[in-house]
Structure 1
Amino acid sequence: MKLKLIARLCILVACVMLITPILSPTVYGQAQATPENFPLFGGDDRVIRGENARDESYFEIGKGRAAAVGSYLDLYYGHSPTLLPKNSTLTLLVNDLPIGSVALDDSNKEQALWRVDLSKLGLKSGFHKLSLQTHMEIASDVCVDPQNTANWMVIHKNSRINLNLVPSYDKADLTTYPSPFFEKGSTNPFQSIIAVPDNIDQNEFSSVAQLAQYFSTQASDKRIKFPVYAESELTDIILRDNRVIWFGRTDRWKERGQAAIEALRKLTGAPANQWQSFIGVAPSPWNPANAQLIVAGNEAELSSAATILTDEALFSQLQGNISIVPANLKKKEAPAELKIGSPYTVTLEKMGYNNLTVEGVEQGSVRINYPIPGNWDFDNGAGLKLLFKHSKSINLKQSVASVKLNGVPVESVRLTETTADAGILELVLDPSVIGSRRTLEFEVAFQFINANSNNKDTQNQNLKDYCSNPSYLGNWAVIDKASTLTYIPAQRQTQRLESLPYPFVVNGHWNQTALLLPDQIGTNELSMALTLAGIIGRNSQDNTELLLFKTSNPGLKELLKDLNIIYLGTSKSLPDFMNGFSGSQVQFKDDQILSLASDVQLLSELQNNSAVIQITHSPLNPTKSLLLMSASSAEHEASITNALTSPDESNKITGKFVIVDNQNHVHQFPVKEDPVAPKPQKPNAGIFFNNSDSSINPYVFPVTFLLIVVLTITILWLARKRR
């Protein structure tokens, strides 16, 4: 019995030993699944109306990732209780491939859940389209009123696309960059921390800020938080639990930075000190499951490395685990300066749109959003020129196109034989229609009528045919990506928080801006600085005029007098000349925030343990600006970063100043505005549309001919008279 028991124990131990590798920690290169979920329609309820309708949502899977088993869609929906169950359906399509359909009946008229497996679709990197197509009937004779208001269904805002994403590569190296450090399309795209040498210098900050700005442009719909650590603040636990981007001069790294470099040397088999300037990817010595990106070199080489890592044409050439950085790279041409006061034209393609299509529906629309650059205003309105074409199989006497701006109808036209091949719709948009919003939201809608004649008998036959076999195959319209928006930019005259990045970033470059930090720069200040640089500097292509200063710099006033200033830090480190000056709305006193505005009163809850974000004229120069981001204590500096990156709270950062409380909530306050000159309400259409190359005034030729005839007769008469 004892021998049998010992034998069983041996077998059990052997089995445990065999299983142990499966349960062991993940090693470098082993695929790790990452769950991601996306709201279907931006987190809002979506109402679908009409007998036949189609609505679409898009999501993106970043480079180097693919959807694996466990990916699915949770669709929460409800519908009108008057729908006929036998005739009403909801169909789901992914990339125009039908995935499934459900009947709209009593079982799902309330909030119902339809879970759809997406695992078998093999979704890889890139954009993917999810379409919902509905057919809804409320009566057997639907043609009596196919657009009855009782034909509706709702896709609820808790509907989500749930993806289980895995790397599509075996091991991370330079070929996979920016993955796994940055995953485009993710709800949390920046999946790393950044480590810099202690007492970061000007070159290191400018270069790593360029990297943060690039990542921000790749996720323009998000406000990314960049966690940044000085090397001395790193711990083994932080390094174990995170992917790390090491960015700094080779000779300034200490023990932990050198350990990261040594791990790269061992991976590549290179002897010590063989290279001093490089970009490399290697497993972390603190956790082999995590990759680390190391960027090191001297000043010129760090700048070159930043250029490589922010230019896809360059970083797509990288291979293997290491690349030596050249000291000099060809510089890109600086963006052309845009002239204030001259017409500026932007195409849909430049806005990021391709040709926009409406098809397969009775009535459909597309939306176009254009954010007005923060340093510009519209004094003379704008001109929208839509180029489009559409089907000829529709009733051209009754089908129409219409345009809304910010929800307000501004134009509608009938579709004709001419517009079918080359439609042009030119709209002059008054400043009163544009309003004060900083984003222009256009909705272009098409309504297609299929009856072919006004003859009553023909209409009755068409109606009968329509009821027996409705088809919308011939209903389509395409808006050309060459369509344009033209306006005359005027320089903004007032500073407001919602106008950022103006005046600190103008025309694609930092505008003589000083970033002022406390003498002791820690994780809070570094994270705040790089997060802010990513948000307001995302469109900057030149960091030459982004200058780093410390409050301990000798002759600080003289250094800052001709610069725009951004101060990041605590109230204790705030220079006296920036605290409570004329024009400031607040003042720090004994770690409290006091209001200097006559119509703003602060209670003790906001006076203590809070932070201020304020924009004013610089106290050193009335032609320059000061952006103050200061907390009453170091413990509350992080609340500024949280407010800047929160989708909800960041929208409240408006006006002249806000206060962020200890719950990371933003509090707004009304501030009296300087009087602004009234804008003209009726802009001249000729400013926006130059049709000299496409059409000629029909009176030009006959008038010219008449003048020539008169001139000829006059000359002949004078010649004859002289004889």
Structure 2
Amino acid sequence: MHLMILFARLFSWALVVTLMIGSMGVAHAQSTEPPQPDDQNVVAFERLGVTDQTLSGVFDGTRYLFNIPANWRLASGAQAQLDLSVFFPVGSAQQRLGGFLEARFNRVLIGTVELTQPGDRRVVFDIPDRALTPVRSDGRHEFEVALDNPTGCDVAPSERTAVVIRSTSRFVLPHTLAPLDTDLRNLPRPIFQGSFEPDQATIVIPDTPSISDLQAALTVAASFGRLTEGRLQIDLTTVQRLSPQARTGRHLILVGSHTGLAPLARNLDLPATLRENGFAAPGATPDDGILQMIVSPWNSERVVLVVSGASEAAVVKAARALSAVPVRINNRPNVAVVRDLPEAPADVALAIDQRLSDLGLEPRVIRDRTGTFDLRFTLPPGQQIDEGAYFDLTFNHAATVDFGQSSLSVGLNGIPIGSVRFSDETTRVTTGRITIPPSATRSGANVLTIQTNLVPRSLCTDVRNTDLWVTIWPESALHLPMKPVTAEPRRTFNLSSYPLPFTLNPSLATTAFVVPQRAPAAWNAAALLAFQMGRQTRDAILQPLAVFADNVPTDVRESYHLLVIGRPGTLPILVELGDALPAPFDAGSDVPRSVDTPVVYRVPPDASVAYLQMVAAPWNPERVVVAALGSDDSGIEQATTMLIDPRQRARLTGTLAIVDPQQRVTLGNGRAVLTGSAPTPVATVTPVAVQPTQPTPQTVQPTPAPSRNASSNNSWLVPVVIIVAVIGASALILWRAPWRRPPGT
């Protein structure tokens, strides 16, 4: 009998433990329930790239900006469906403290909702037809949600309402599809639309491109990098290698000679049709570039842009014209004939003192709580800013701003250079002087940015009904004393400095891409790098150069920064650089004969390895050579990614980096390249290598493979500990059980 009772109790405890473990598994499964599929009219906030937004306090709000696809025409029945989580402070006055939410679509009030109960809920706002037209100058739709809880002023901040707008919220946008607009004046649209749908394009070049074809393709890539601010997904391939998926799923940009593009172009219904001697555009000569765009015959939601000409010079001319948008057309909006390009501006003297009114600017009022205003000026070639430069900022602002928390700051080329303090005096028109450091300026285009941050005097102030503003007056003036550039300034670079020094010239006119012949992977890598460089440029017509690695002219070596891309064995110029490289290569070899690293590891011959190197050019101390190399195509792709991705590039704190497929980086000993004229002339300029005083183990040992999170490795300990604790407790209970006690105790 006692033994049966013992087994019964053990079975009960085992059942409890099983249920506890089972309940933990069920909770985890519920938390990973798959989301409901969206139909073609539903746009979840997650697709807009936003996360959960929290509104709290007395008055708070958030704003969502988005574009719709270029071929969408919105129809009646639109809605905004908000998934809300409402939190009230603990207490009896929850309803009094709730307040309400107010929603606006394109600045039209579409509804309010009272916050009377805590918890999760979905709120649906109908969007009237009159609110479906964007009112912003950039054409984007604007959706605003504001929390209004004025009674919250009577309580402590910790006792106020909070509302979370979940990223699962969505818009329902009924629409019809319209033909895409192929007007060249609207470029980069529709190739780049900036909507919640991914923008993807493929540059297609001839199977055997000339160096002019490649140069034109890299110019087009850089142009779209600038026009889209780097937000277009782009790649490059050849006519024969173009996959059916890319042909139907992506916008196509055909770049090259008419003969090389013929296998694709003859299937297109182009406004300037393809003939034996070129594209038949009215009035075009063999030296004229041709631009034309049509809806893709393979997908009506994509377009085909053709950049071509009857001669090599014409192809390059057409490509460069894309960086001078808007494109000028003739009789038809989808075809343009490029006869001439604007000449490079002459060395026009820049006035030392000039007001904003001299630049044609009128008073600028900034009403957003955080707003910016850009002022552009150009330094002529051969000139540099001298000491004593400044910017006199004439401004005033609303008296309703908090003087201590509001600010007005000034930056030059992305570098903060000064700010002004708000006070009662600055509510009247006043002038503050900001010193301009000469080192913050650069030859060519410069951007002076004025940024405001306006905060009301009280958190209980409804900013929707309070006018917060700053006015920048055209009496503001630049004082820019200049002096001739006597020599290139001495600069220090390493791989983490990329894309410097290439982007120091705003037209990329001192950048030469060095690539092998018959190397599509290297050509694609060059296009990706050109695209990212273009993103860093402004205004000027882009003029990068391309040369094949087996024929790099002397004038190119001496006058250009070189970006060498490909497999080392296909790049003869690496052999010429020889021991100037931290990792030199023998002719035809994809493995360096030596590496300037603290520890040298033996690498298997078939391993995919990326090599990134930077040296001062031995032909000209003012120029730099950067090599993005790979032992195979995957290695080339890895080297390119390391230069493009800012987070990866930040790891490249030297002049040599060797990267394996797991992105483990081994750095070389050299830490910097010094360019520019030295105080004392020298026969040969070599990289300046700064030896680390005491190499740490992290720089000399390979990084171990990523391991799983320690907590996940030990997750099995939790149920084991619970089981052991339960069994121990059971044993103690059984030991103290009545049936074990002697009679009478």
TM-score class, shorter: 0.5 to 0.7
Residues 337, 507 of structure 1: 8 Å contact kept: no
Residue identity in the other structure for 1:565: L
Q: Give the Cα separation in 1 of the matches to 2:456 and 2:427.
A: 12
Seen in structure 2, the aligned counterparts of structure 1 residues 570 and 192 have a Cα distance that, compared at 3 Å, is: same
User: Is 1:245 the counterpart of 2:253 in the alignment?
Assistant: yes
TM-score (norm 1): 0.64
CA positional deviation for 1:116: 6.0
Residues 84, 139 of structure 1: 8 Å contact kept: no
Equivalent residue for 2:561?
A: 564
Residues 403, 443 of structure 1: 8 Å contact kept: yes
Q: 1:275 aligns with which of 273, 276, 280?
A: 280
Residue identity in the other structure for 2:625: L
Superposed counterparts of 1:274-353, under 5 Å: 275=280, 278-282=290-294, 284=296, 290-299=302-311, 300-306=313-319, 308-315=321-328, 319=332, 323=335, 325-326=337-338, 328-329=339-340, 331-335=341-345
Q: 1:515 aligns with which of 508, 513, 519?
A: 513
User: Is 1:575 the counterpart of 2:581 in the alignment?
Assistant: no
User: Is 1:107 the counterpart of 2:118 in the alignment?
Assistant: yes
Q: Give the Cα separation in 2 of the matches to 1:39 and 1:443.
A: 29
Residues 48, 66 of structure 2: 8 Å contact kept: no
Residues 206, 543 of structure 1: 8 Å contact kept: no
Q: Give the Cα separation in 1 of the matches to 2:417 and 2:161.
A: 23
2:527 aligned counterpart, secondary structure:
helix
Seen in structure 2, the aligned counterparts of structure 1 residues 632 and 653 have a Cα distance that, compared at 3 Å, is: same
CA positional deviation for 1:609: 1.9
Q: Give the Cα separation in 2 of the matches to 1:141 and 1:344.
A: 54
Seen in structure 2, the aligned counterparts of structure 1 residues 377 and 661 have a Cα distance that, compared at 3 Å, is: farther
Structure 1 residues 468-520: Cα deviation after superposition (integer angstroms, max 9, x where no partner): x9787344222438678989999560123454443223342224332111121
Q: Give the Cα separation in 1 of the matches to 2:449 and 2:211.
A: 40
Equivalent residue for 1:696?
A: none
Residue identity in the other structure for 2:259: D
CA positional deviation for 1:442: 7.6
Superposed counterparts of 1:48-67, under 5 Å: 50-61=57-68, 66=73
Equivalent residue for 1:503?
A: 501
User: Is 1:98 the counterpart of 2:109 in the alignment?
Assistant: yes
Residue identity in the other structure for 2:201: S
Seen in structure 2, the aligned counterparts of structure 1 residues 409 and 379 have a Cα distance that, compared at 3 Å, is: closer
Superposed counterparts of 1:158-557, under 5 Å: 158=167, 169-170=178-179, 172-174=181-183, 178=187, 182-186=191-195, 190-220=199-229, 222=230, 224-236=232-244, 238-254=246-262, 256-261=263-268, 263-264=269-270, 275=280, 278-282=290-294, 284=296, 290-299=302-311, 300-306=313-319, 308-315=321-328, 319=332, 323=335, 325-326=337-338, 328-329=339-340, 331-335=341-345, 355=364, 357-358=366-367, 364-366=369-371, 386-391=393-398, 394=400, 401-403=406-408, 413-416=421-424, 419-427=426-434, 444-449=452-457, 473-480=465-472, 491=489, 493-522=491-520, 524-538=521-535, 539=537, 546-553=544-551
Q: Give the Cα separation in 2 of the matches to 1:49 and 1:384.
A: 39
Superposed counterparts of 1:118-137, under 5 Å: 121-123=131-133, 126-136=139-149
TM-score (norm 2): 0.63
Residue identity in the other structure for 1:260: N
Seen in structure 2, the aligned counterparts of structure 1 residues 557 and 65 have a Cα distance that, compared at 3 Å, is: same
Structure 1 residues 599-625: Cα deviation after superposition (integer angstroms, max 9, x where no partner): 577797999423233333124443310
Q: Give the Cα separation in 1 of the matches to 2:213 and 2:47.
A: 40
Residues 610, 661 of structure 1: 8 Å contact kept: yes
User: Is 1:628 the counterpart of 2:630 in the alignment?
Assistant: no
Q: Give the Cα separation in 1 of the matches to 2:353 and 2:618.
A: 34
Seen in structure 2, the aligned counterparts of structure 1 residues 129 and 577 have a Cα distance that, compared at 3 Å, is: same
CA positional deviation for 1:566: 0.6
Seen in structure 2, the aligned counterparts of structure 1 residues 433 and 544 have a Cα distance that, compared at 3 Å, is: closer
Residue identity in the other structure for 1:52: F
Superposed counterparts of 1:662-673, under 5 Å: 662=661, 672-673=671-672
Between 115-124 and 298-307, the greater mean CA deviation after superposition = 115-124
CA positional deviation for 1:636: 3.2
Residues 188, 224 of structure 2: 8 Å contact kept: no
Q: Give the Cα separation in 2 of the matches to 1:114 and 1:595.
A: 66
Equivalent residue for 2:154?
A: 141
Seen in structure 2, the aligned counterparts of structure 1 residues 303 and 238 have a Cα distance that, compared at 3 Å, is: same
Equivalent residue for 1:10?
A: none
Residue identity in the other structure for 1:631: G
More strand by share: 1
Structure 1 residues 25-66: Cα deviation after superposition (integer angstroms, max 9, x where no partner): xxxxxxx97987776997577666653234445444576655
- Consecutive unaligned residues of structure 2, counting only runs of 5 or more, are 1-38, 285-289, 483-487, 676-745
Seen in structure 2, the aligned counterparts of structure 1 residues 149 and 354 have a Cα distance that, compared at 3 Å, is: farther
Structure 1 residues 145-179: Cα deviation after superposition (integer angstroms, max 9, x where no partner): 6xx46658576795787686978743554468537
Q: Give the Cα separation in 1 of the matches to 2:377 and 2:610.
A: 29
Residues 107, 142 of structure 2: 8 Å contact kept: yes
Q: Give the Cα separation in 2 of the matches to 1:645 and 1:71.
A: 40
Q: Give the Cα separation in 2 of the matches to 1:126 and 1:566.
A: 38
Residues 66, 196 of structure 2: 8 Å contact kept: no
CA positional deviation for 1:196: 1.3
Seen in structure 2, the aligned counterparts of structure 1 residues 471 and 626 have a Cα distance that, compared at 3 Å, is: closer
- Consecutive unaligned residues of structure 1, counting only runs of 5 or more, are 1-31, 451-465, 677-723
Q: Give the Cα separation in 1 of the matches to 2:190 and 2:325.
A: 15
Q: Give the Cα separation in 1 of the matches to 2:567 and 2:294.
A: 37
Equivalent residue for 1:26?
A: none
Q: Give the Cα separation in 1 of the matches to 2:439 and 2:324.
A: 41
Seen in structure 2, the aligned counterparts of structure 1 residues 260 and 227 have a Cα distance that, compared at 3 Å, is: farther
Q: Give the Cα separation in 2 of the matches to 1:670 and 1:163.
A: 57
Residues 138, 150 of structure 1: 8 Å contact kept: no
Q: Give the Cα separation in 1 of the matches to 2:667 and 2:358.
A: 37
Residues 85, 103 of structure 1: 8 Å contact kept: no
Residue identity in the other structure for 1:264: L
CA positional deviation for 1:411: 6.0
Q: Give the Cα separation in 2 of the matches to 1:319 and 1:96.
A: 37
User: Is 1:89 the counterpart of 2:100 in the alignment?
Assistant: yes
Q: Give the Cα separation in 1 of the matches to 2:165 and 2:668.
A: 34
1:424 aligned counterpart, secondary structure:
strand
Q: Give the Cα separation in 2 of the matches to 1:369 and 1:292.
A: 34
Q: Give the Cα separation in 1 of the matches to 2:600 and 2:479.
A: 44
2:501 aligned counterpart, secondary structure:
coil
Residue identity in the other structure for 2:280: W
Superposed counterparts of 1:617-656, under 5 Å: 617-643=616-642, 649=648, 656=655
Seen in structure 2, the aligned counterparts of structure 1 residues 308 and 485 have a Cα distance that, compared at 3 Å, is: same
1:233 aligned counterpart, secondary structure:
coil
The number of aligned residues is 602
Residue identity in the other structure for 2:465: L
Q: Give the Cα separation in 1 of the matches to 2:479 and 2:496.
A: 23
Q: Give the Cα separation in 2 of the matches to 1:157 and 1:574.
A: 53
2:96 aligned counterpart, secondary structure:
coil
Equivalent residue for 2:709?
A: none
Residues 597, 668 of structure 2: 8 Å contact kept: no
CA positional deviation for 1:627: 1.4
Residues 514, 547 of structure 1: 8 Å contact kept: yes
Residues 409, 451 of structure 2: 8 Å contact kept: yes
